[in-house]
Amino acid sequence: MALRLGPREFGAEELVIMAIVNRTPDSFFDRGATFADEAAFAAADKAVAEGAGILDIGGVKAGPGEEVTVAEELRRTVPFVAALRERHPSVVISVDTWRHEVGEAVCEVGADLLNDAWGGADPKLAEVAARYGAGLVCTHAGRAEPRTRPHRIGYQDVMADILDVTVGLAERALELGVRRDGLIIDPGHDFGKNTRHSLEATRRLPEMTATGFPVLVSLSNKDFVGETLDKPVDERLLGTLATTAVSAWLGAQVYRVHQVAETRQVLDMVASIRGTRPPAVARRGLA
């Protein structure tokens, strides 16, 4: 089934980049580089030019930190989404939030997708997606409270738990009226998981794709990459791209990333090896 989000329809075999544009002063990777409007618009423009089909706007960093009220999250996201909708009418705009008040406000000004990274912490968010005809990302976060880190968390079978949560959230969303072709499931790398859990979730991605829902992976520069290779945040690109290639081969469709151009090349190469994308040029051995 095609994935239909706002102005775009993505074929079942199309590998889609969701570019991260943080409206936060304290995000773990860019340290507030796109907190200011001008920098955020420049980052969005660059991401689209490099091949992103979705722009994911976040107003609260995932990890612990200074409290961000609903009013402050609205201030950081709503005007920006409204301006971005006019600036890029053919790009899918996603907002990374768990709060229904924020979901309502951004959908009012043109958001196409609500990226619920905290696994239904606010059940009303799915109701908002249904009411506005928006898409919804259903994520496994180990039932953790928003903005908390996992502590001695364990699973009898991590993928069984991932499937139980994400498919359960998707089925509830369907019952509420969210479109089937607007639902995405996400194993939630690092969220409510230790490094071994995230590695296992990656190698078992075919169990998620077998559900029939498109799978999103948010791998970019995450702690499980850093711990696996013992690398700091600014040295995790190669590990991220290796995980991206494996995830693409195993069937994930949407990739939430910081570095768009590098990811685009990896995904295009995997698609060409898989046989779903022709080479950009073909000269060798033809003359």
Give the whole-angstrom CA distance, residue 254 versus residue 12. Answer: 11
Annotation marks residue 143 as catalytic: no
> 191 and 63 in contact (C-beta within 8 Å)?
no
> 240 and 198 in contact (C-beta within 8 Å)?
no
> 92 and 114 in contact (C-beta within 8 Å)?
no
Beta-bridge partners for 232: none
- From the list 47, 132, 38, the residue with the least C-alpha distance to 88 is 47
Distances (CA, A) of 192 to 98, 113, 119, 173, 245: 15, 23, 10, 22, 24
Residue 83, H or E segment: helix 70-87
Catalytic-role residue among 143, 222, 236, 284: 222
The 8-class DSSP code of residue 95 comes to: E
User: Which amino acid, one-letter code, is at 242?
Assistant: A
Sign of the dihedral defined by the CA atoms of residues 230, 145, 201, 234, in that order: negative
For residue 103, report the phi and psi dihedrals to the nearest 5 degrees.
-55, -45
Catalytic residues: 222, 256
